[in-house]
Structures are given as C-alpha cells and as structure tokens.
C-alpha cells in the first residue's frame, strides 16, 4: 500500500470528501512530532496529515522537531510527502496568492537538527535535485486537471526566522536566485531524502518580501492570504491524491542511500 503524507498548516485536512479516521500519536527516537498524525481517508485513499506547527499553531519554525515529524511519517509507512508552506515572494512577479511548485532550495537556516546521521554512521545524500521530480510531474498534472494555476518551478530560500527579513536581505535573496523565502522548508526536504521518502513542496505566496512594497509586513497578512488560498490547495490535493496513490515509485529517491554511506 502506498502511503501519502501531507505536512501543512492545521485544519487543511478539514476538507470535503476527507474523513478523519484516527489521530495517531507517534513517538520517535528523535522525540515527539509536532502533533498527532491525522489518518484520513479520501475516496478509498489513505492520507496522513501532520500540522507542522502543531494544532493550534504553537511551535515556531526554528523549534519544529523536523526529524521527529519526518521519522514519524516513515513509521506510518508513508513513502511520498507533499509539503505546503507559507512564503514571501522575492520579486514582484511572484504575487501573493500564487502557488509555486518548488524545484530548488537554498538552506540558510541554522541551529536545527538537520540529519538523521550524526555519527558514527556518516552519510552524504545527493541533493542535486532536492524535490522528487516524479512527484513534481504528478502535481503539475493534478493542477492542470483541476485548472489551478501553479508556477511550475521555483527556488525556495529557507531563513531561520522567526523574524521576517530586512529589505536588504530580501534584495540579497532575490539576487541569489531565490523566488520565494520561507522558514520551514529545510531541513524537511533533506530529512525525507535521508529516509528515501519522495518529497515535494508547494509554496503558497502570502506576501511580497520585506521592502518590496514599502508596507510593513504582518502575520495577519500572511494568515489572511494563507486562508484565502486554502480552497485552492485543497482542490490541488484532491486532484493529486488519486494520481499519487496509483503511482508506483520509480525514482532515485527510493535508493537515496545507495552510495551515500561512507
Ligand atoms: N519571509 C519568511 N517567511 C515567510 C514570509 C516572508 O516574507 N512570508 C511567509 N513566510
């Protein structure tokens, strides 16, 4: 049985056609995940949802136990994860309300437990393509069939937060080649790769980066735009679930550890 996992904000699982069967608490060698995994059923397809920041939203980005969250999914037999997160657009062409299917990442976070391999086993996974390209293709197909506009590529820059950026930082991140900036995209993606789980990510643009419009950024703006985008994300997920459930993994993520161990 394929296992589909979704990491997102709390409440995303409250959507038409999705029935919560159980909330499963999982303990891991790395501690407790952000919350119970909401084991749901959609049209005969099992999907496990995890609210990244707990429910209600109470864990800041730099305190999320990313290792426990990803390891817990593995304990549940999940082998394909869609991650959804709020981001700031780094240029005016990446407008609030739009969805970006990420294909690259730059990790500027710090002080986070970012690997399952702290020694004595030493592992260097290949991260040339941080997101599963097969899953990306499936999400593009799902977006097309549900008539949802999805920017097909984008580079995510992960800052540590919890503060937002300065205007100069946003200029620098854009010059570095970033399309969106967020605080939670890493180390999630790398941890999934270390467990040979396929991982894909949809960035929801909730605001333009600091200094672009000249207006002060607020959490209210981020939350309001996230809320306004929720139905679009739910539609995308509903279209993606049957495609993901039917997909037999045939990508390099399955054997990410091959040749990676020293
Ligand atoms: N910067 C960092 N993280 C974010 C932003 C932002 O502008 N918006 C939503 N998450």
Of the candidates 198, 50, 187, 64, the one whose C-alpha atom is nearest the C-alpha of residue 118 is 187
69 lines ligand 1 (CB under 6 A): no
CA of 193 to the centre of ligand 1 (A): 24
| Distance of CA 218 from the midpoint of ligand 1 (Å) | 10
Task: For 50-85, write each residue's pLDDT tens digit.
Answer: 999 998 999 999 999 999 999 999 999 999 999 999
Out of 2-11, 29-38, 243-252, least confident range: 2-11
Cβ–ligand 1 contact at 159 (below 6 Å): yes
pLDDT score of 126:
97
Q: Evaluate whether 152 touches 104 at the Cβ level (below 8 Å).
A: no
What is the C-alpha separation between 159 and 108, in angstroms, rounded? 5
pLDDT tens digits, 17-52: 899 999 999 999 999 999 999 999 999 999 999 999
Helix (H, G, I), strand (E, B) or coil at 222: helix
* 158 pocket-lining for ligand 1 (C-beta < 6 Å): no
Quick one: how far is CA 95 from the chain centroid?
19
Give the residue with greater pLDDT, 188 vs 261.
188
Q: What residues pair up with 7 in beta bridges, in sequence order?
A: 50, 83
Ligand 1 mean position to 205 CA, how many Å? 8
184 ligand 1 Cβ < 6 A: no
List own/partner pairs for 25-29 with CB under 8 A and 24 or more apart: 26/72, 26/75, 26/76, 28/67, 28/68, 28/71, 28/72, 28/75, 29/71
Averaged pLDDT of the chain: 96
| Three-state secondary structure string covering 36-77 | CEEEEEECCEEEEEEECCCCCCCCCHHHCCHHHHHHHHHHCC
Taking only the tens place, the pLDDT of each residue in 84-115 is: 999 999 999 999 999 999 999 999 999 999 99
Q: Which atom of ligand 1 is nearest to the CA of 217?
A: 7
pLDDT beyond 60 at 1: no
Distance in angstroms (rounded) separating the CA atoms of residues 72 and 85: 19
pLDDT of residue 258: 95
The answer to whether residues 233 and 202 touch, using CB atoms and an 8 Å cutoff, is: yes
Q: Who contacts 126 (Cβ-Cβ below 8 Å, separation ≥6)? A: 252, 256, 260
Report the SS3 class of residue 129. coil
Structural domains in the chain plus CATH codes: 4-255 (3.40.50.1580)
Q: What is the pTM of this model?
A: 0.97
Check if 90 has its Cβ closer than 6 Å to any atom of ligand 1: no
Pairwise CA distance, residues 205 & 217, whole Å? 13
229 lines ligand 1 (CB under 6 A): no
Instruction: Tell me the C-alpha distance between 18 and 197, whole Å.
Output: 23
pLDDT band at 211 (very low <50, low <70, confident <90, very high): very high
Query: 177: closest CA among 250, 251, 103, 237?
Result: 103
Q: Which percentage of the chain shows pLDDT scores above 90?
A: 91
Residue % of the chain over a pLDDT of 70:
99
What number of other Cβ atoms are within 10 A of residue 166's Cβ? 11
Q: How far does residue 99's CA lie from ligand 1's centre (Å)?
A: 14
- What lies within 8 Å, CB to CB, of 117 at 6+ separation is 123, 194
State residue 208's pLDDT score: 97
Ligand 1 atom closest to 207 (CA): 8
Adjacent-strand bridge partners of 41: 19, 46
User: Taking a C-beta distance cutoff of 8 angstroms, is the pair 113, 66 a contact?
Assistant: yes
């Amino acid at each position: 049985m394929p296992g589909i996992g979704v990491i997102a904000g709390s409440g995303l699982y409250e959507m038409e056609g999705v029935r919560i069967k159980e909330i499963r608490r999982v303990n891991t060698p790395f501690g407790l995940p952000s919350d119970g995994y909401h084991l749901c059923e959609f049209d005969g397809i099992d999907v496990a949802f995890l609210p990244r920041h707990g429910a209600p939203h109470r864990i800041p980005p730099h305190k999320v136990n990313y290792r426990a969250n990803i390891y817990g999914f593995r304990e549940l037999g999940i082998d394909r994860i869609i991650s959804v997160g709020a981001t700031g657009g780094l240029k005016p062409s990446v407008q609030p309300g739009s969805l970006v299917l990420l294909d690259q990442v730059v990790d500027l976070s710090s002080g986070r437990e970012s690997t399952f391999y702290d020694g004595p086993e030493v592992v260097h996974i290949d991260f040339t393509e941080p997101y599963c390209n097969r899953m990306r293709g499936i999400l593009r197909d799902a977006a097309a069939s549900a008539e949802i506009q999805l920017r097909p590529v984008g580079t995510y820059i992960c800052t540590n937060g919890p503060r937002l950026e300065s205007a100069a930082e946003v200029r620098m991140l854009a010059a570095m080649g970033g399309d969106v900036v967020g605080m939670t995209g890493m180390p999630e993606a790398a941890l999934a790769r270390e467990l040979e789980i396929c991982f894909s990510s949809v960035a929801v643009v909730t605001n333009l980066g600091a200094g672009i419009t000249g207006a002060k950024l607020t959490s209210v703006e981020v939350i309001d735009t996230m809320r306004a985008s929720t139905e679009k994300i739910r539609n995308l997920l509903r279209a993606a679930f049957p495609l993901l459930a039917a997909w037999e993994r045939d990508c390099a993520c399955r054997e990410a550890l091959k040749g990676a161990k020293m």
